[in-house]
């Protein structure tokens, strides 16, 4: 020991450093859901060990008594993780408690809990993500877990005109002669952009959580007053209040009647980026994006973003997204707020008609300062919009569009995977669960397609070393949401059939998200012994600058991504990581560790489902 006295401030700095060091738990070779296990639910753990023969395992309670034991199941080499997993199944042990440990061979887990309803807090925190990313309103200290998370309103109002400059490829855009007040909405992700395509699927997912719960009689779980939001005493479900914040923005992104604009028509892929623009009637279409004219640095709090913001040209994809979600809105608010529902329905019809008139305006312009959400296949968007309009109105024209689509459910065929760019299954889900005009036969066909998809996911789980019901060879940007979207379909399949294998697979997916993965990482802030701490976000960016807050609990990291490793952190990992390990808890790793509304939405859905579906 050096023989000198430390100044008191140095002591406290050391103490703080020790606390920080303690907080950063070392990874354990025994991986399990760090939130713990449900008393009655499946309980699977993975130990990574090179042994080719089974290892003995023991479940030890808080007082050191062995409560269960067995032999691990050797999986062999697992491509997704690069590990040699041993699978352990403790499901038969159903006694709640704290401080359990699992010993597998020479390895011992951290203490973990078994209890009822472990997801109650998570579903609320995951929903609070949306309030805290609201644009156009102050985030008040009384509604957040830490006063440092409060902030003045950003982009209030968010009024913008159309981009009227030269884009990155040298195309000159004419502007539009109007400005829209597209205030409200949620910031998309780590950036302050607002995008109709991604807003569409995110809002739909929350609204579907509501519709599914209402159909099952559990909608009171998010009743008025259950969330910490300004609308918590307006007599309306807080889940709906939150989704409406986004809907108001989406509705505001519609192109005014009587607008003629020069837009790119058809799948143009010019080598020099120069687009052919054609003048057409854009009335009722939706602008693709609203964002800053250039990228702002990290950190930038919303209220400190003084960049000029523009509306970027309307696209068919955005228009169909608007049609779909506005149609969903129309049926949900019909009895709650008839005037709002009517506004939604008019917008949905107008948008759908505009998309039929202009079916091939793709998001191919090259603009900086925001994300593209470009998509070259809009047949799934068209199916989704027609499905939502048909469920809501029952009108023959929408029904005909469904029959003619290659995305329509067919007996014996599984529903497609979905994400922001592949949305047909959203329509299938609404046909399967939403109250509406669809026939019982339509409903049954849609359910069968979802059950068939769920069967495939269960099978995928059996082939994965970590048993997650997801088997991509390459992990996409936002892979954690892909895993959770599988869980959403599995949850629905369980609703329809009651088969325990589907519920078990939902748990498998959530186990992976909360720590049963090769990095021993909980991908949700504030949950588990090793939670993500440093997501890519312009305000929750304490790692970049200690004057900014750490993220609130309940925020999902996008997760491992070995399909696009373009950020400075990912670039150093290229070629050196198995798909499930291409991830770092670093705010600069925007391809791996960003947050996004379309990722947190399925976290809300799945956490709520688990909490409300015994
Ligand atoms: O989630 C999007 C992912 O599928 C794309 O591959 C990626 C690159 O285009 O963009 C992601 O979305 C980002 C958006 O463009 C801008 N806001 C942040 C989003 C999440 O990273």
Q: Taking phi first (over 0 means left), then psi (-120 to 50 degrees means alpha), and beta for anything else, what does residue 520 get? A: left
DSSP string, 361-412: --S----SSS-----S--HHHHHHHHHHHHHHH--HHHHHHHHT-TTS--TT
Give the tens place of pLDDT for each residue, 207-241.
999 999 999 999 999 999 999 999 999 999 999 99
The count of other CB atoms within 10 Å of the CB of residue 98 is 12
pLDDT of residue 7: 35
User: How close is the Cα of 167 to the center of ligand 1, in Å?
Assistant: 19
Ligand 1 contacts CB of residue 421 (under 6 A): no
What pLDDT sits at residue 24?
78
Identify the CATH class of 120-512+597-612: mainly alpha
Taking the CA atoms of residue 273, residue 274, residue 279 and residue 284 in that order, the dihedral angle to the nearest 10 degrees is 20
Instruction: Give CA–CA dist 94/148, Å, rounded.
Output: 40
- Residue 544 is predicted with a pLDDT of 96
DSSP code, position 101: E
Q: Is the pTM of this model over 0.75?
A: yes
Cβ atoms < 10 Å from Cβ of 223: 14
- Domain spans of the chain, in order of start: 36-118, 120-512+597-612
Q: Which of 290, 292, 363, 371 to mutate to test the pocket of ligand 1 (most atoms within 8 A of CB)?
A: 371
For residue 294, give the DSSP letter: S
Domains 36-118 and 120-512+597-612 share a fold: no
What whole-number distance in Å separates Cα of residue 285 and Cα of residue 586? 38
- Can you give the pLDDT at residue 63? 98
H or E, element range at 261: strand 260-264
Phi, psi of 100 (to 5 degrees): -70, 150
Rounded to the nearest whole angstrom, what is the distance from the C-alpha of residue 433 to the centroid of ligand 1? 29
Contact 477 CB / ligand 1 (< 6 Å): yes
Determine which residue's CA is closest to atom 4 belonging to ligand 1.
Answer: 477
Taking a C-beta distance cutoff of 8 angstroms, is the pair 269, 170 a contact? no
For ligand 1, whether the C-beta of 567 sits within 6 Å is no
pLDDT at 23: 59
CA of 232 to the centre of ligand 1 (A): 32
pLDDT, position 21 = 42
**179 touches 158 (CB < 8 A):** no
Cα-based distances in Å from 123 to 202, 479, 516, 524: 15, 20, 19, 11
CA distance 228 to 201: 23
Residues 6+ apart with CB under 8 A from 302: 135, 151, 153, 154, 155, 187, 192, 538, 539
**Angle at alpha carbon of residue 16, lines to 12 and 19, rounded to 5°:** 140
User: For residues 175 and 310, what is the distance between their CA atoms, to the nearest angstrom?
Assistant: 9
Q: What is the pLDDT of residue 305?
A: 98
Q: Helices 597-612 & 479-497, crossing angle to 10 degrees?
A: 30
Mean per-residue pLDDT pooled into runs of 10, the chain (614 residues): 34 41 80 98 98 98 98 98 98 98 98 97 98 98 98 98 97 97 98 98 98 97 98 98 99 98 97 97 98 98 98 98 99 98 98 98 96 97 98 98 96 98 99 98 98 98 98 98 99 98 98 98 98 98 97 98 98 98 98 98 98 96
The pLDDT tens digits of the residues spanning 531-576 come to 999 999 999 999 999 999 999 999 999 999 999 999 999 999 999 9
Query: In 24-132, which residue ranges form alpha helices assigned H by DSSP?
Result: 120-132
Which bin fits 9, alpha (ψ -120 to 50), beta or left (φ > 0)?
alpha
pLDDT in tens, 142-191: 999 999 999 999 999 999 999 999 999 999 999 999 999 999 999 999 99
Q: How many CA atoms are closer than 13 Å to the CA of 302, on its beta-carbon side? A: 32
For the chain, how far is it from start to end, CA to CA, in angstroms?
56
Percent of the chain past pLDDT 70, that is, above it, reads 96
**What is the fold of 36-118?**
Immunoglobulin-like (2.60.40)
Say how far apart CA 531 and CA 555 lie, in whole Å. Answer: 10
C-alpha torsion angle, residues 341, 344, 346, 348 (rounded to 10) = -140
Contact 530, 34 (CB under 8 A): yes
Cis amide prior to 336 (ω within 30 degrees) = no
Report the distance separating Cα 512 and Cα 93, nearest Å.
20
In 231-290, where does DSSP find H-type helix? Answer: 238-252
**Whether the CB of 495 sits within 6 Å of ligand 1:** no
Q: Measured from the CA of 372, which atom of ligand 1 is nearest?
A: 15
Q: Please provide residue 128's backbone torsions phi and psi, each rounded to the nearest 5 degrees.
A: -65, -25
Query: Does residue 478's CB lie within 6 angstroms of at least one atom of ligand 1?
Result: yes
């Amino acid at each position: 020991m050096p023989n000198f006295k430390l100044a008191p401030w140095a002591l406290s700095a050391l103490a703080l450093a020790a606390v920080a060091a303690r907080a950063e738990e070392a990874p354990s070779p025994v991986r399990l859901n760090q939130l713990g296990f449900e008393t009655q639910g499946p309980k699977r753990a993975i130990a990574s060990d090179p042994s080719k023969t089974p290892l003995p395992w023991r479940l030890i309670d808080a007082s050191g008594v062995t409560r269960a034991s067995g032999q691990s199941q050797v999986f062999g080499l697992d491509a997704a993780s690069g590990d040699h997993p041993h699978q352990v199944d403790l499901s038969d042990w159903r006694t709640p408690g704290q401080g359990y440990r699992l010993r597998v061979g020479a390895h011992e887990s951290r203490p973990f809990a078994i209890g009822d309803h472990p997801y109650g807090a998570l579903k609320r925190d995951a929903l609070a993500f949306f309030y805290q990313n609201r644009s156009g309103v102050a985030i008040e200290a009384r509604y957040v877990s830490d006063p440092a998370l409060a902030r003045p309103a950003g982009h209030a109002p968010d009024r913008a005109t159309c981009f009227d400059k030269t884009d990155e490829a040298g195309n000159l855009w004419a502007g539009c002669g109007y400005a829209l007040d597209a205030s409200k909405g949620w910031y998309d992700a780590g950036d302050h952009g607002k995008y109709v395509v991604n807003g569409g699927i995110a809002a739909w997912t929350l609204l579907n959580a509501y519709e599914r719960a209402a159909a099952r009689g559990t909608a009171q779980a998010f009743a008025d007053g259950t969330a910490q939001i300004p609308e918590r005493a307006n007599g309306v479900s807080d889940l709906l209040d939150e989704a409406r914040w986004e809907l108001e923005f989406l509705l505001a992104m519609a192109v005014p009647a009587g607008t003629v604009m020069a837009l790119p028509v058809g799948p143009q892929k010019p080598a020099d980026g120069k687009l052919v623009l054609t003048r057409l009637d854009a009335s009722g279409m939706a602008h693709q994006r609203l964002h800053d004219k250039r990228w702002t640095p990290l950190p930038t709090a919303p209220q400190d973003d003084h960049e000029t913001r523009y509306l970027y040209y309307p696209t068919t994809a955005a228009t169909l997204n608007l049609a779909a979600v506005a149609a969903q809105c129309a049926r949900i608010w019909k009895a709650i707020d008839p005037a709002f529902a009517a506004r939604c329905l008019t917008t949905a019809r107008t948008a759908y008609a505009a998309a039929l008139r202009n079916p091939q305006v793709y998001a191919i312009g090259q603009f900086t300062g925001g994300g593209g959400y470009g998509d070259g296949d809009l047949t799934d968007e068209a199916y989704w919009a027609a499905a939502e309009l048909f469920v809501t109105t029952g009108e023959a024209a929408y029904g005909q569009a469904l029959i003619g689509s290659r995305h329509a459910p067919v007996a014996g065929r599984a529903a497609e995977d979905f994400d922001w760019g592949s949305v047909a299954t959203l329509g299938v889900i609404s046909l399967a669960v939403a109250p509406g005009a669809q026939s019982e036969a339509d409903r049954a066909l849609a359910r069968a397609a979802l059950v068939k998809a769920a069967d495939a996911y269960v099978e995928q789980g059996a082939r994965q070393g970590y048993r997650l019901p997801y088997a991509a060879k390459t992990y996409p940007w936002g892979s954690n949401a892909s895993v959770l979207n599988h869980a959403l379909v599995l949850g629905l399949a369980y609703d329809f059939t009651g088969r325990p294998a589907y519920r078990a697979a939902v748990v498998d997916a959530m186990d992976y998200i909360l720590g049963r993965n090769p990095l021993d990482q909980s991908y949700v802030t504030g949950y588990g012994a090793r939670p993500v701490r440093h997501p890519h976000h312009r305000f929750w960016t304490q790692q970049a600058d200690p004057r900014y807050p750490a993220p609130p609990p309940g925020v999902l990291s996008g997760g491992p991504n070995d399909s696009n490793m373009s950020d400075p952190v990912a670039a150093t990992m290229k070629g050196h990581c198995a798909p499930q390990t291409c991830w770092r808890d670093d705010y600069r790793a925007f391809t791996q560790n960003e947050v996004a509304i379309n990722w947190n939405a399925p976290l809300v859905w799945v956490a709520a489902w688990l909490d409300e579906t015994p």
